[in-house]
Structure 1
Amino acid sequence: MNTLMYFIYISTIILVAYNFMTTILFCFEKKLEATHKYIQTVQQLTLVVLLFAMMLYFCKSESIPTEFYLVLWIWGFMTSHLFLTLKKRLIHPLLGLGILLAITIVLFFKQEEIIETLKQKELTTIGIEIAIVYLILGLLLGIIFWPKTKT
């Protein structure tokens, strides 16, 4: 299972880093040539493969590390960024990405306390519920804060 976990972590880091850099370049240059369709297709395919890899990991693993739930959160907002296109964005994309990364940092350091406070259970007994909540929140907040827009 270690190889699968490394694949999930590394793929997620590469996707976030690439899209973070394109967002920064877009904001500083005020124009960025359209992303190649091939790169976007590869990213979308990688997200689908990551979803299946995460489901396999959940099914085969006996214990899920708490850091893994952050990967689901990141997968959620990356999916909303790469798959959904809106006509108009609500806030500036760099600010939206900054908000999402700030939430990610808070979740990284405080997720055990937040979950135990909300559910009053041990973290290991509610694994799939946490995973679904992180995934859905990532999707919804990604749509609000960091969508792609039609140009």
Structure 2
Amino acid sequence: MDNNSTYIQVMIQSLNRKIEVLEKIIGYTQEQEHVLKEEEVDLDQFGDLIDEKQKWIEQLNLLDTGFEKLFERVKEEIQLHREEYHEEIEQMQGLIKKITDLGVVLQTSELRNKVRFEQYSANKKKEIREFKMSNTSASKYYQNMANQHQGQSYFLDKKK
């Protein structure tokens, strides 16, 4: 029973750590949102934020895996002796509720960022398309003008 109590305490610590990691990820997501709101988006800064966030996401996945393994070890004991672990169970339920709330905040922030980034990408694609079209038009114009002068001088020389 002593080992199980220790495992439960480690699970609580894991949940607290998961909250910290989620808050860090939310912070990076909010920084990405600020970068995307700027008039001229700094893609290097945006990429750096993605890299940093990825490190924390990997940490979050490790915490999830560790928690699941611990839970499998003590699941039966907790179910059999629910009264003994009542306080710990309530504490874990509160932490899980907070984690769920943070997850919802993170999902909505990510969705907003996705929409903003898609708008940014669409605008950049449009700018590139317009640039290519104007470049092609200018090139054709200069080619046309160059060919017109050759044709005129040719006819002038023939008339002489």
Shorter-normalised TM-score: what interval? 0.3 to 0.5
User: Which of the two has higher C-alpha Rg?
Assistant: 2
Q: TM-score w.r.t. structure 1 length?
A: 0.42
**Structure with more helix by fraction:** 2
